[in-house]
Structures are given as C-alpha cells and as structure tokens.
Structure 1
Amino acid sequence: MAKSDPLLTVLKLANEAEEQASLQLKSAQLHFQKCQSQLDALRNYRLDYMKQMESHHGKTISASYYHQFHQFVRQVDDAITKQILTVTEADNQRKHRQLFWQEKQQKRKAVELLLEHKAKKAEKVALRLEQKMIDEFASQQFYRKRTR
C-alpha cells in the first residue's frame, strides 16, 4: 500500500486555515456593516432632530427648552464621535482579516502548485520508465528474431 503524500496533509490543513480565515473575514465584514449602519442611524437621528428644531424657527421657545435641545444635540454628537471610532476600529479589523485571509489563500495555492509540479514530475518519470520498458521489449524481440 502506497503512503499518502505529506503534502496532502499540508494542503488539508491549509484549506482548513483558509476556511477559518474566510469565516473570520465574513464576521468582521458583518460587524463593520453593523457599526456603519448604527453610525448612519445616529447621523439621521441628529438631522431629524435638527429639522424638528428648525420647524420652531420664528416661534418663541423657552430658554430651558433651548438649553435641553443643545445638551441633547451635544450628547448625540458625542455618540456619533464614539461611533466613528468604533467604525474605524471595525474597518481596521476587517482590513486585517482580509490580509490574513489572503495570506492563507496564497499558502494553499502554493501547496497546490507544489502538488501539481510533483504530479507532473512523477508522470514524466512514469512515461520514461514505460518508454524504457517498450524499448527493452522491442530490443529483446529484435534480438530473438536475429538469433533464430
């Protein structure tokens, strides 16, 4: 029974590592999209709130209402600033996972290429051996015919 090629084990491990990296990349992409959506929602909420205040333009509003409005807008702005940082971190993580996945993909392709070269080399050796056997058989036939 022929032993299996150790490169096949390496290929299996490389495939598993690439698949794991792919899952991590997908997770990072989803997290980034979720963070970006939350940022967009905060920005839209702020815009809607500002439009609501604009609708009071020309009307008399109390100082306390005006103060509460500005205080609330500051809180929303702080939340937006924090969310921008979260989006940036999520994007950095996504980019890191993208590079990691690409590295794993390159390693898998390199192992596949090695296996391909090894198979071609083995095929050439087998063809040379087969040709040698055919030549030997032909020369024995020729020798037998001459000795009769």
Structure 2
Amino acid sequence: MAKQDPLHTVLKLTSEAEEQAALQLKSAQLALQKCQSQLEALRNYRLDYMKQMESHHGKNISASYYHQFHQFVRQVDEAITKQLTSVAEADTQRGHRQRHWQEKRQKRKAVELLLEHKAQKARKAEMRLEQKMVDEFASQMFYRKKIR
C-alpha cells in the first residue's frame, strides 16, 4: 500500500477551512442584507408618515398632535441613525469575512499547486525511468544482433 502524501491531508484541512469561511461570509452577507432591508423599511415608514402629515396640510390640527408627530419623526430618525450604524458594522464584518475567505481560498490553491508540481515531478521521473529502460532494452537488442 502506497503511503499517502501528507499534503493530501493538508489539502483536506485547507478545503474544509475554506468551506467554513465561505459559510461565514454567506452569513455575514445575509446579515448585511437584513440590516439594509430594515433601514429601507424605516426610511419608507418615515416617508409614508411624512406624506400622511402632508395630507393634513391646510387643515386644522391640534398643537398636541403636531408635537406628537414631530416627536415620533424624531424617534424614527434616531432609529434610522442607529440602523445606519448597524449597516456599517455589518458591512465591516462582511468585509472581514470576505478577506478571511479569500485567504483560506488562496491557501487551498497553494496546496493544490504544490500537489500538482509534485505529481508533474513524479511523472517526469517515471518517464525518465521508462526511457532509460527502453534505451537499455534497445542497446541490449543491438548488442545481441551484433554478437550473432
């Protein structure tokens, strides 16, 4: 039984690490998309609320209603600001995960390249050995013909 090259084990480990990093990247991308969707929903909610207030334009509204409206809009604006921070943090996390995945991918490709170089070297050595045997056989045949 031929002994397995330790690089195959390294390749397996680097491939698994790359897969894990890819899953983490996907998770970070989904988290970013969720944060962006929530931000968009808050902005749309604010816009709808502003349009609703605009429809009251020219109508008599109480001072308390007007005050409550502005207070609510201020709370929505604060939520938007917090959500912007969440989006930025999620995007930073996605960037970290992207770089981490790229590093793992690069390591896996390097191990694959090493294995390919080793395989090419082994094929060349095998071809040289085969050529040597063919040459030896040809020279033996030549000498046998000469002896006759």
Displacement of 1:142 in angstroms is: 1.6
Query: 1:32-71 to 2 correspondence within 5 Å?
Result: 32-71=32-71
1:32 & 1:40 partners in 2: Cα distance? 12
Aligned pairs for 1:122-137 within 5 A = 122-137=122-137
Quote the offset at 1:144 in angstroms.
2.1
Percent identity over paired residues: 81
- Does structure 1 residue 28 correspond to structure 2 residue 33? no
Partner SS for 1:101? helix
Q: In the TM superposition, what are the counterparts of 1:113-124 in structure 2 within 5 Å?
A: 113-124=113-124
Per-residue deviation, 1:143: 1.7
Q: SS state of the match for residue 56, structure 2?
A: coil
Q: 1:10-68, CA deviations, whole angstroms, 9 ceiling, x for partnerless residues?
A: 11111101100000000000000000000000000000000001111011111111110
- Cα offset for 1:145? 2.2
RMSD: 0.8
Q: Distance in 2 between matches of 1:10 and 1:99?
A: 21
Mark the runs of 5 or more structure 1 residues left unpaired by the alignment: none
Deviations 1:72-105 (A, max 9, x none): 0111001000000000000110111111111111
- 2:94 is aligned to 94
TM-score scaled by structure 1?
0.97
Give 1:69's aligned amino acid.
F
The answer for the alignment partner of 1:16 in structure 2 is 16
Give the unaligned 5+ runs of structure 2.
none
